Amino acid sequence: MKSGKRGTNVFASVTMILLSVAFLAPIFIVFMNSFKGKLFISDTPFALPNVKTFVGMQNYMVGISKTGFLQSFQWSLLITVSSVLTILLFTAMTAWYITRVKSRTSTGLYFLFVFSMIVPFQMVMFTMAKIANLLHLDNPAGIIIIYLGFGSGLSVFTFSGFIKTIPVEIEEAAMIDGCEPIRAFFTVILPMLQPVTITVAILNTMWIWNDYLLPYLVIGTKYKTIPIAIQYLKGGYGSIDMGAMMAMLVLAVIPIILFYLSCQKYIIQGILAGAVKG
């Protein structure tokens, strides 16, 4: 039995290592090629930089200059942070209402949010872009509202599942002590939602930060986010400055990786908390 269990553990460990390599390899290849001359990337994409192919920080300087990366970084940061905070606040309150108020209206709202998760974005993108233009939402402030709409389905679903594990007696005790419902939510419920809040924040941050199609359709090139700015490295007749593009991809992915690593322990806590309470 022990040898069989040991063999299973070894197999599982080897499998996880291979999967980790498979997931990390593309990131390493992009990082490695960001220091190579653009003429050598297509010829030897998997070779390490050498004396002949190494160009130092040249690709980064060219990419930042061509794309206006610093300004695009500011727009991406503003839109992402504002959208995620808006999604967290409104969807947490909505999930709390839907979970605690038992009625046909709340049940119907819940199923509408769940249904929105399965509607492909491509099905509504042209209608959405037209309506956003008519309602003057084609600006950084307006796109935050649009992100709230598209991000509410998964967020409400996730918050609702966690709130169901919180005993309603805690809120009743707070209200007996004189707390209004809104005050009870912010002082009692919201602090208890920290693990799932961080999980929802990470999922939405990764989506909004890397999103290309929605900003392109709504705000266009006037307020360029990082994914839109990187597209400016494409030249005429399909030519692409691969070196500068690789460098900009590295700069684009670093903030989201750092954010994920800094919040990773909270994701694990949230999963464990939900498992124990469930």
Give the CA radius of gyration of the chain.
Answer: 23
Q: Which domains does the chain show, CATH number per domain?
A: 56-277 (1.10.3720.10)
DSSP type of residue 278: -
Alpha-carbon span 175 to 178, nearest angstrom: 5
Please give the Cα distance from 165 to 277 (Å, whole number): 6
Q: Which H/E stretch holds residue 213?
A: helix 213-218
Scanning 34-167, the segments in alpha helix (DSSP H) are: 38-41, 58-67, 69-100, 104-116, 121-134, 140-163
Maximum distance among all Cα pairs of the chain, rounded to whole angstroms: 75
pLDDT of residue 185: 87
Burial 143-161 (b: 16+ CB within 10 A, else e): bbebbbebbbbbbbbbbbe
The span from the CA of 7 to the CA of 1, in Å, is 10
**pLDDT at res. 45:** 84
**Torsion angles phi and psi, residue 36, rounded to 5:** -110, 155
Positions of the chain with pLDDT under 70: 1-4, 235-238, 267-278
CA distances from 205 to 5, 127, 238 (A): 39, 25, 31
pLDDT at 98: 92
The whole model's pTM is what? Answer: 0.85
Nearest to 59 by CA among 230, 277, 275, 260: 230
